[in-house]
């Protein structure tokens, strides 16, 4: 009789679970013998998760005056992932990106590797994990984007998915500083995200973001970050990070494959710049004051570094009739510099070399960084064992490389072989991916700059019979460490009999310089109009 009555009520519940009076629910006990040994009150609670389109019930049990739920049933009802290791009596609940591990007879809960202490033990009964419902609600509210509300009067647990679109952050220590990864379910563009330092806090303000401030602020801190505070201010989510020290700079990196983005807080320069910091006074260290004006100023093209490849003991590539790359690229670089000085008197030109000397690769970018340059242009000529190889191409720095670019990358990076051993050590252990991540904001500009140069260069070169091989990307040492947009131009193949001949002509060298200059002029105009 009792059983039939229960089923009857159950059917009613399916139809009208949300309005069912709690007192009545309380009387609908299941005679469950599994927990007969415990002083429990076997009961059921209604679960309503309208935004997840879920309605159901959960068995509960009372112990020491607290309600417990069977975690497996909870997961099943709400369609969460679950894994139980019966031998070790551990259960992992997967909610979105969060991994929450409960251990039997233990008050510690592991949330994404972080230990959270609670006041009540989880229980192991009949090979199932039972957890205190109050704790479960608190943990899920704090660490997930769900909003749970337990109404003990109505014996009802409501669960809403908040319209959160920034779901979490992860802070990691890197070689060069601290990296903040921001997880998002919506694509944010660069203009939605403002990076700023206010008082001792570094802020990421995201327009159009919805956050669960509690769960964002609960992320583990490391590196230069000692504390997190998060606020929802109308349509903007503001996440503040208390800094333990000063940062040298910060970079925003939007992930192209997902909605996530990264913010790097640089506390150490990876290459070459350490010396600069060690200098007394260290005035040169470009402390980023982070106001918008300064950010804009960064992109104004007022200082350009022109880098003639190789030099001195490093001849670069050898041509078809043994002409040296270093001797062709120097006049191109000097002609380009003269064009800039003549047509853009407001722009400062700095050469990494203006004569036939050897300069280590790392020093070339250091020269550019020290000068606070906005652009770095490296001029080279190509060569290949295949004497038919021909054409011009422009590279921007990337950890990825076009498959066919490998040879060019190896050739240009081999300049290191001419460097002293103490210089060579600078490149050891340097991670290209990390180095390029540091540059990601610049990479977008570099790519654009490269495309302009290649177009304008081709306008000049196709007339003398040098075809365009297009814009390419590759990991070039000479560009690593540069804190400004940078490109590397391979003007043509000196290993090709025809191209060696025309590249050796002063008239062609002038055309190449003009092509690069036209690209630079267009870039300057476009960038300065955009800011």
Enumerate residues 116-175 that contact Zn ion by CB under 5 A: none
Choose between 203 and 380: whose C-beta lies nearer to Zn ion: 380
- Bridge partner list, 231: 238
DSSP, residue by residue, 270-326: SSSTHHHHHSSS-TTS------HHHHHHHHS--EEEEEE--BTTB--SB-TTS-BHH
Structure-token pair, residue 355: 């004569």
Write each residue from 411 to 430 as x if it is in contact with Zn ion (CB under 5 A), else as -, in one continuous string. -x------------------
Enumerate residues 93-112 that contact Zn ion by CB under 5 A: none
Of the candidate spans 142-150, 250-258, 368-376, 406-414, the one that interacts with Zn ion by CB under 5 A turns out to be 406-414
Of the candidate spans 171-179, 407-415, 422-430, 523-531, the one that interacts with Zn ion by CB under 5 A turns out to be 407-415
Number of residues in contact with Zn ion, rule: CB under 5 A?
A: 4
DSSP, residue by residue, 239-278: EEEEESS--SEEEEEE-SSSS-EEEEEESS-SSSTHHHHH
In the complex, which residue's CB is closest to Zn ion? 380
Choose between 177 and 316: whose C-beta lies nearer to Zn ion: 316
- Bridge partner list, 243: 225
Shortest Å distance, C-beta 347 to Zn ion: 25
Selected binder of Zn ion within 266, 324, 380, 469 (CB under 5 A): 380
Shortest Å distance, C-beta 386 to Zn ion: 17
Residues with Cβ within 8 Å of residue 29, at least 6 apart in sequence: 41, 42, 43
Choose between 316 and 485: whose C-beta lies nearer to Zn ion: 316
Shortest Å distance, C-beta 377 to Zn ion: 13
Choose between 380 and 469: whose C-beta lies nearer to Zn ion: 380
Choose between 440 and 496: whose C-beta lies nearer to Zn ion: 496
End-to-end, the C-alpha distance of the chain in Å comes to 78
The closest of 364, 326, 381, 317 to 479, measured between CA atoms, is 364
Choose between 251 and 412: whose C-beta lies nearer to Zn ion: 412
Of the candidate spans 22-30, 70-78, 105-113, 379-387, the one that interacts with Zn ion by CB under 5 A turns out to be 379-387
Choose between 412 and 500: whose C-beta lies nearer to Zn ion: 412
* Contact of 43 with 61, CB cutoff 8 Å: yes
Structure-token pair, residue 218: 């609960």
The closest of 432, 425, 310, 410 to 360, measured between CA atoms, is 310
Of the candidate spans 50-58, 106-114, 115-123, 408-416, the one that interacts with Zn ion by CB under 5 A turns out to be 408-416
Choose between 301 and 491: whose C-beta lies nearer to Zn ion: 491
Shortest Å distance, C-beta 317 to Zn ion: 6
> How far, in Å, are 204, 293, 376 from residue 231 at the CA level?
11, 25, 40
Shortest Å distance, C-beta 370 to Zn ion: 23
- Bridge partner list, 202: 197, 241
Enumerate residues 302-361 that contact Zn ion by CB under 5 A: 309, 316
Shortest Å distance, C-beta 310 to Zn ion: 6
**Please, is 367 exposed, middle or buried when counting C-beta atoms within 10 Å of its C-beta (0-12, 13-18, 19+)?**
buried
Contact set with Zn ion (CB under 5 A): 309, 316, 380, 412
């Amino acid at each position: 009789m009792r059983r039939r009555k229960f089923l009857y009520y159950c059917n009613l519940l399916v139809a009208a679970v949300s309005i069912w009076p709690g007192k009545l629910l309380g009387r609908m006990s299941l005679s469950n013998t599994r927990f007969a040994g415990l002083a429990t009150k076997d009961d059921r609670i209604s679960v309503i998760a309208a935004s997840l389109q879920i309605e159901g019930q959960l068995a509960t049990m009372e112990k020491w005056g607290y309600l417990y739920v069977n975690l497996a049933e909870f997961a099943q009802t709400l369609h969460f992932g679950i894994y139980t290791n019966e031998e070790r009596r551990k259960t992992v609940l997967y909610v979105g990106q969060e991994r929450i591990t409960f251990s039997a007879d233990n008050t510690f809960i592991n949330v994404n590797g972080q230990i959270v202490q609670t006041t009540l033990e989880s229980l192991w009964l009949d090979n199932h994990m039972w957890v205190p419902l109050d704790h479960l609600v608190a943990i899920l509210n704090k660490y997930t984007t769900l909003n749970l509300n337990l109404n003990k009067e109505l014996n009802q647990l409501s669960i809403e998915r908040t319209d959160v679109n920034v779901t979490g952050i992860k802070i990691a220590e890197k070689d060069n500083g601290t990296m903040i990864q921001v997880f998002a379910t919506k694509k944010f563009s660069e203009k939605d995200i403002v990076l700023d330092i206010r008082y001792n806090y570094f802020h990421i303000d995201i327009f159009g973001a919805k956050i669960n401030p509690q769960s964002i602020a609960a992320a583990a801190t490391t590196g230069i970050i000692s504390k997190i505070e998060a606020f929802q201010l109308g349509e903007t989510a503001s996440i503040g990070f208390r800094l333990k020290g000063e940062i040298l700079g910060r970079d925003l990196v939007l992930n192209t494959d997902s909605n996530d983005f990264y913010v790097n807080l640089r506390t150490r320069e990876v290459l070459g710049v350490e010396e600069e910091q060690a200098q007394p006074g260290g005035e040169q260290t470009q402390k980023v004051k982070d106001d918008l004006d300064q950010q804009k100023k960064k992109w104004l093209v007022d200082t350009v570094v022109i880098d003639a490849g190789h030099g001195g003991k490093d001849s670069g590539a050898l041509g078809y009739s043994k002409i040296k790359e270093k001797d062709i690229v120097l006049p191109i670089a000097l002609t380009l510099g003269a064009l800039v000085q003549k047509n853009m008197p407001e722009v400062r030109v700095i050469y990494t070399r203006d004569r036939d000397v050897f300069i280590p690769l790392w020093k070339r970018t250091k020269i550019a960084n020290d000068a606070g340059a906005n652009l770095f242009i490296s001029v080279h000529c190509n060569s290949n064992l295949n004497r038919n190889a021909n054409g011009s191409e422009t590279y921007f720095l990337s950890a990825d490389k076009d498959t066919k670019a490998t040879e060019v990358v190896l050739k240009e990076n081999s300049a290191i072989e001419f460097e002293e051993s103490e210089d060579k050590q600078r490149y050891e252990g340097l991670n290209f991916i990390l180095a390029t991540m540091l540059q990601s904001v610049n990479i977008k500009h570099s790519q654009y700059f490269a495309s302009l140069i290649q177009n304008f260069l081709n306008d000049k070169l196709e007339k003398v019979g040098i075809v365009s091989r297009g814009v390419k990307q590759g990991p070039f040492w000479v560009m690593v460490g540069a804190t400004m947009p940078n490109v590397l131009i391979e003007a043509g193949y000196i290993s090709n009999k025809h191209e060696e001949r025309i590249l050796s002509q002063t008239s062609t060298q002038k055309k190449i310089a003009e092509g690069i200059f036209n690209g630079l002029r267009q870039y300057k105009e476009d960038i300065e109009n955009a800011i």
